[in-house]
Amino acid sequence: MELLTDGTEKNPILGFCSNVISRHGKSWPPEEIVLAEEFVQWLGFNSFLTKEALKELCKDKGVNLTVKTLPAGLRGFNCSYQDKREIFLTDEESAVFSDAHTLFHEFREMLEHSFVELGYPTIGAEQSLEIQAETFAMACRMRAVEQELPAFFKLAQNVEKPWARYLAYTLFAFVGAALFYSCILVPQMEEILAEAKRLRYVRT
């Protein structure tokens, strides 16, 4: 992959991976949570982005994101060939934040391809990239929530009336806990919803 003189790579994902290698190459591979933290920061992700905003975010990183009807059973797909990189997400309604989870899963697979290309694989032969990508997706969403929570509490801090301030704190604490648990529970929620949908289909 050709590098531009100002250091901005034509392939931003490869550029990100190069930077990760330069920082963590001596104690390779980095922990998944560390990789997730750096990736969320690099991508500029936040939990409340619309699909259009997500598309823009991906476009900035050289990835074309498409949300469309995919074959049954396929939640997401990524592919790359030369300098073309695509991620597809299903438009099927599923658990809240399922889109973001799948997006990170697909990105993790892309990252691994780049790490392999650079000679620094993070997955051993006995490990599964699928499982690693799921862990990465959870870690990325947790990291994003962790970054967003202080802003919520700052909002609550600015509420003048004490009772309203405490109410706001309680509300934001609840939202924060829900967001945090959603990071871990998305895959389980997806399975439960898919099963409920299947049963509904069988009954009708």
Partner 1 sequence: MHRLRKAKGLTLKQVEAQAKVSNAYISQIERGKRRPPHPDILKRLAKAYDVEHRELLVAAGYLEDSAEVAKRREIEDAYQHVLTDPTFKQGTRLKGTHVSLETKRFIVEMYEKLTDRNLLKRA
Cβ closer to partner 1: 9 or 109?
Answer: 109
- Is residue 89 within 8 A of residue 76, CB to CB? The reply is yes
Name which of residues 76 to 95 contact partner 1 (CB under 8 A): 76-82, 84, 86, 88
Report the nearest approach of partner 1 to the CB of residue 108 (Å). Answer: 8
Report the nearest approach of partner 1 to the CB of residue 193 (Å). Answer: 10
Binding of partner 1 by 129 (CB under 8 A): yes
DSSP string for residues in 40-63: HHHHT--TT--HHHHHHHHHHTT-
The CA radius of gyration of the chain, in Å to the nearest whole number, is: 19
Q: Which of 180, 166, 172 is nearest to 151 (CA)?
A: 172
3-class secondary structure, 88:
strand
CA separation for the pair 20, 89 (Å, rounded): 26
Buried-exposed string 120-149: b where 16+ CB fall within 10 A, e elsewhere = bbbeeeeeebeebbbbbbbbbbbbbbeeeb
How many residues at the interface with partner 1, by CB under 8 A?
28
Cβ closer to partner 1: 37 or 109?
Answer: 109
Tokens of residue 163, six digits: 């009772």
Report the nearest approach of partner 1 to the CB of residue 44 (Å). Answer: 22
Q: How far is CA 177 from CA 100, 169, 188, in A?
A: 18, 12, 17
Among 16, 65, 113, 138, binds partner 1 (CB under 8 A): 113
Binding of partner 1 by 177 (CB under 8 A): no
Binding of partner 1 by 106 (CB under 8 A): yes
Select the span of 4-12, 26-34, 73-81, 166-174 touching partner 1 (CB under 8 A).
73-81
Binding of partner 1 by 39 (CB under 8 A): no
Report the nearest approach of partner 1 to the CB of residue 203 (Å). Answer: 19
Report the nearest approach of partner 1 to the CB of residue 21 (Å). Answer: 18
Binding of partner 1 by 5 (CB under 8 A): no
Where are the strands (E) in 82-142, listed by range?
84-90
Q: Which residues of the shown chain bind partner 1 in the complex (CB under 8 A)?
A: 70-82, 84, 86, 88, 102, 105-106, 109-110, 113, 129-130, 133, 190-191, 194
